[in-house]
Amino acid sequence: MGTLAWILAAALLASQDETVTSGNVVVRLPPGWKSEQKAEGLYLSPGDLKEDQSYVIIVSPGGKADGNLAEGLEKSWKEFEASGKVTNRAPGRDTKTDGGTEGLFSVGILETKDGSRLIISIAIFKPADRYEAVIALSAQDPVFAKYSGDLALVLKNLRFRNVELPVPYDLIVSSDPGVKPTVFALFRDGSVLSELPADGMDGFNLADAKKRYDGSWGSHETKDGELRLQLPDRRVTLQPEADGSWKGPERAAFVKAGPATGLKLDGRYAVKGREDKPDSSNLVFKPDGSFEDKGTSPPLAGTYEISNNTMKLKFPDRVKNVSFVALPKAQTVLINGLWYQRQP
């Protein structure tokens, strides 16, 4: 289908609310917007679009990533070059969804072979090993500018099923790196797991875990403002603090930890208490997704990805998943049951 036909087709869509799913992508619609699934992707259009105006957002069918984000963006632009000449193309700038998936965003002009002019924006994301692209098209500059805020909202609220945990949970973790970590995973069915699975929470299956971790399960409830956990061997009451944290037994501090999906670390991290032994307890992470383990001889190097409180370490000959929790600003992280502190 031609690019102008893409825009015209959007005018026929019916108004919808809330979220829609297209393949691997979950989209939250701006209020009053329309959507329809077509062969070329999921079409989104403003409900207040006038007859003489054109604007459409297309969530393209994704696929296996065969390069980095910059290469994915370049590939997307080349697909438009088959329809005409791309001019005034802006370099890709960093963007990120609320869920932490990183992407690149670029705007350009397409001068089509039939003499038309289209303003195009492309946002390319790479959740895990996939490319997902969102494309906005308009023939009119004022209309493109008018809906730029809605486009930003769509991009911000995108979710990707391959990096979203199928079982919603809240993770409560002790925030004092000087003591043995305590982690509680609270689930919507009222159950609580009193330990963090060694291989993290990505791909977590609640039914299987209740068998696998038999003896570590309890229940939770919120009553009189307190979070009350009934565990097999004890009862724990967490008192809320004004800053959103909790105080537990013996005034131990607890915080809610996010899934950290898409987080990139930058710097040298040492096991808490072993900062003076850089050759035996250090992990060096880079924001390009590479890391080095200096605690081995020779040091091991590879790449890492973080998704749903899971760090996926990729070596040339294997992949290893370990549990991961980041405290605020990621200066302190819990990796495979050990506290690591970022070093100056």
Q: What is the pLDDT of residue 2?
A: 46
The model's confidence at residue 17, banded by pLDDT at 50, 70 and 90, is very low
% of the chain residues with pLDDT over 90: 46
Mapped onto helix, strand or coil, the DSSP state of residue 142 is helix
Q: What is the pLDDT of residue 208?
A: 85
**Which residues, 6 or more positions from 115, have their beta carbon under 8 angstroms from its beta carbon?**
none
Q: Is residue 207 located within the same domain as residue 288?
A: yes
Q: Is residue 186 located within the same domain as residue 143?
A: no
CATH code for position 140 = 2.60.120.1690
The residue written with tokens 């990707």 in the block is 160
Does the pLDDT value for residue 291 go beyond 90?
Answer: yes
Q: Is residue 176 located within the same domain as residue 156?
A: no
Q: Is residue 205 located within the same domain as residue 326?
A: yes
The model's confidence at residue 281, banded by pLDDT at 50, 70 and 90, is low
CA-closest candidate to residue 112, choices 7, 41, 38: 7
Average pLDDT over residues 322-342: 91
Q: What is the pLDDT of residue 83?
A: 85
Domain total of the chain: 2
Q: Is residue 142 located within the same domain as residue 172?
A: no
Geometric angle at alpha carbon 172, from 167 and 175, rounded to 5°:
150
Question: Cβ(171)–Cβ(325) under 8 Å?
Answer: yes
Indicate the residue among 163, 193, 209 that finishes a domain.
163
Q: Determine how β-strand 63-64 pairs with β-strand 117-125.
A: unpaired
Q: Among 157-166, 240-249, 309-318, where is mean pLDDT lowest?
A: 157-166
Q: Among 52-61, 135-144, 207-216, where is mean pLDDT lowest?
A: 207-216
Q: Is residue 103 located within the same domain as residue 186?
A: no
Q: Mean pLDDT over all residues of the chain?
A: 86
**Looking at the whole model, is its pTM more than 0.85?**
no
Q: Is residue 131 located within the same domain as residue 203?
A: no
% of the chain residues with pLDDT over 70: 91
Q: What is the pLDDT of residue 7?
A: 42
The model's confidence at residue 284, banded by pLDDT at 50, 70 and 90, is very high
Q: Is residue 151 located within the same domain as residue 83?
A: yes
| pLDDT, tens only, 31-78 | 889 888 888 899 999 989 998 999 999 999 988 888 899 999 999 999
Q: What is the pLDDT of residue 266?
A: 93
Q: What is the pLDDT of residue 4?
A: 43
What's the token pair of residue 109?
Answer: 């002009």
| pLDDT, tens only, 252-273 | 899 999 888 888 999 999 888 7
Q: Is residue 248 located within the same domain as residue 268?
A: yes
Quote the domain boundaries for residue 44.
3-163
Q: What span, in angstroms and rounded, lies between the C-alpha atoms of 182 and 202?
A: 19
Does the pLDDT value for residue 232 go beyond 60?
Answer: yes
**Highest averaged pLDDT of the listed ranges 120-134, 159-173, 272-286:** 120-134
The model's confidence at residue 295, banded by pLDDT at 50, 70 and 90, is confident
Q: What is the pLDDT of residue 147?
A: 95
Q: Is residue 312 located within the same domain as residue 180?
A: yes
Does the pLDDT value for residue 278 go beyond 60?
Answer: no
Q: What is the pLDDT of residue 251?
A: 86
Q: What is the pLDDT of residue 224?
A: 82
Considering only residues 103 and 207, tell me which one the structure prediction assigns the higher pLDDT: 103
Q: Is residue 170 located within the same domain as residue 159?
A: no
Q: What is the pLDDT of residue 163?
A: 67
Q: What is the pLDDT of residue 135?
A: 96
Average pLDDT over residues 291-311: 87
Q: For 243-262, b where at least 16 C-beta lie within 10 A, e where not — what string?
A: eebbebeeeeebbebebbbb
Torsion-angle region of residue 74: left (phi > 0), alpha (psi -120 to 50) or beta? alpha
Q: Is residue 222 located within the same domain as residue 302?
A: yes
Q: What is the pLDDT of residue 16?
A: 42
Q: What is the pLDDT of residue 78?
A: 92
Does the pLDDT value for residue 101 go beyond 60?
Answer: yes
Q: Among 18-22, 35-39, 91-95, 259-263, where is mean pLDDT lowest?
A: 18-22
